[in-house]
Amino acid sequence: GPGLPRRDRDETVVRFKRLMLILFKPWRLAADLKTAQQSWEDAYDELMVRCPAEYKAKMANMQVLHECRDGRDD
């Protein structure tokens, strides 16, 4: 399948935030992830205010994978 989107690139940041909501915010229906008026970015920002440090660390580790690959390829 496709790799995890990057949070440090304009073209993938919205996909990254949407995926983090799917993975780390409790939900049963898609409408639980964000309100109809809310952007994915705003919903993600709201999640980041309330989510545990453990979740934030896991999200950061996902980005580290990209940074390690970048370092390897340089």
DSSP secondary structure code for residue 32 in this structure? G
Distance of CA 61 to the CA centre of its chain: 11
Answer whether residue 68 is part of any domain: yes
How many whole angstroms separate alpha carbon 2 and alpha carbon 15?
12
Region 53-57: what's the mean pLDDT?
Answer: 95
Answer whether residue 5 is part of any domain: no
Domain count, the chain: 1
Answer whether residue 29 is part of any domain: yes
Answer whether residue 8 is part of any domain: no
Nearest-5° angle of CA 15, CA 20, CA 21?
A: 100
Answer whether residue 26 is part of any domain: yes
The 10s digit of each residue's pLDDT in 2-40 is: 788 888 888 999 999 999 999 999 999 999 999 999 999
Residue 66, domain extent: 13-73
pTM over 0.85: no
Residue 66 pLDDT grade (very low, low, confident, very high; cuts 50, 70, 90): confident
Answer whether residue 36 is part of any domain: yes
Let me know how long the chain is.
Answer: 74
Alpha helix locations (H) across the chain?
13-24, 40-50, 53-73
Answer whether residue 6 is part of any domain: no
Q: Tell the residue number behind the tokens 């309330």, with chain if given.
A: 50
